[in-house]
Structure 1
Amino acid sequence: MSDTAVEKIQLAEKEAEELILASKTKSKEILEQAKEEAESLYKEFIDQARDLEKKKIQDMEKQAQEDSQDLLVKTDSQVERLEEMKKQDYPELVKSIVEKVVV
């Protein structure tokens, strides 16, 4: 082989090594970028899940407060009705007992 052919082969080998090195470097960059994007998306999904969970808890607390208020109103209403019934029934009961005792 001539010196020129050997030089061309050596030059081609050197260029091939440089291309391989550049390819490996680019692959590492792409892999690192993909890793960063995946971590970012993961954090974003976790944050969204936490926000949804927090909102759900707040909605449940709000519903529980509303249900509690409804129960208080119903209880107050029933207590008032019982008190009214007592007011109405006691005089009639006393009158009935007195009539039975007197008769």
Structure 2
Amino acid sequence: MDIDMTDDSCAIVDIIAYFPNTEKCGANKQLANLYMCREDLTGDTLYVFADCDSEKSIPFDRGVCIMRSDIKSEVPKEIVVSIPDNFIIPNGAKYVFSNLFWLVD
């Protein structure tokens, strides 16, 4: 998937919603945390499936970075996320398998 980059290495997004995985990480399933984000340059909604990490905290939700080098080119066939029953990712939505990085000045 192509996403607009502010430079060669980083796409800036703001986190709209965060759905941490409620299952224990490391089980036999492919688990992920889900971030619903807005791309800074385009305003597009982007769904980010990040590695399951129950200890990861969100220090802030604006100006978060997706590193181009961290985007996974091989994606799992099936992934488990913890979302509300009424939450739907629309057909044709932009998504990426990557971790998010918080850049501190």
Tell me, yes or no, whether TM beats 0.5: no
Q: Which has the higher strand share?
A: 2
Instruction: With a CA cutoff of 8 Å and minimum separation of 6, indicate the structure with the bigger relative contact order.
Output: 2
TM-score per shorter chain, which class? under 0.3
> Which structure has the bigger radius of gyration?
1
TM-score w.r.t. the length of structure 2 is 0.12
TM-score w.r.t. the length of structure 1 is 0.13
Q: Which has the higher helix share?
A: 1
